[in-house]
Amino acid sequence: MRVAQVRVIDDAGQLGVMSPAEGIKLARQRGLDLIEIVPNATPPVCKIMDFGKFKYEQTKKDKLQRKHQHVTQLKELRFHPNTDDHDFEFKTRHARRFLEEGHKLKATVVFKGREITYKEHGEELLRRLAEKLADLAKVDQVAKLEGRSMAMIFAPDKGAKKKTDRKPEPDESKPKPEKTP
């Protein structure tokens, strides 16, 4: 340590501001190490503790942070201008699931052959999808024609209600099978 003064703490609390040599001496008397915890503070904060324990706690903290980190992916759903209603509903359910999981969604309408002359069908399909997902997502990028495909990007709406993980209650109207001896 190349500083004149450090703030020394231990498990019990603060021991005061002293020179690094005094802090090291105090740590050695206890059979422990002097570890610099906050180097950017004025004066830097050092803690008297076992270095092995410190490394273990750091790796544990890093693992916990990585566990709680969520990486947002861009999921893509592909449609055609003549996509049937059932297929549209099925893909809309997938879109809802992606958005509930916190992912962005790219809805693409792919035009084959002469279908490109009916761009308005693709725009209508994407507009319908936007209406269906309005409660969960906001439109990040409006429908844009890129070559032979038209794409619209949705982002999960932070204010939207979260999916509840509740099991449906058993239906009371259905008779329960009786056991026969």
Cβ burial, residue 105 (10 Å; 0-12/13-18/19+): buried
CA–CA separation, 148 and 118 (whole Å): 11
Phi/psi class of residue 157: alpha, beta or left (left: φ > 0; alpha: ψ in -120 to 50)? beta
Domains of the chain, earliest start first: 1-51 (3.10.20.80), 74-156 (3.30.110.10)
Identify the pLDDT of residue 167. Answer: 46
Q: Are 26 and 47 in contact (CB under 8 A)?
A: no
> What pTM does this model have?
0.54
Positions in the chain whose pLDDT score sits under 70:
160-181
| pLDDT score, position 67 | 82
Which pLDDT value is given to residue 166? 41
Per-residue confidence (pLDDT) for residue 19, from 0 to 100: 93
What is the model's pLDDT at position 68? 80
> Which token pair is 167?
């099991």
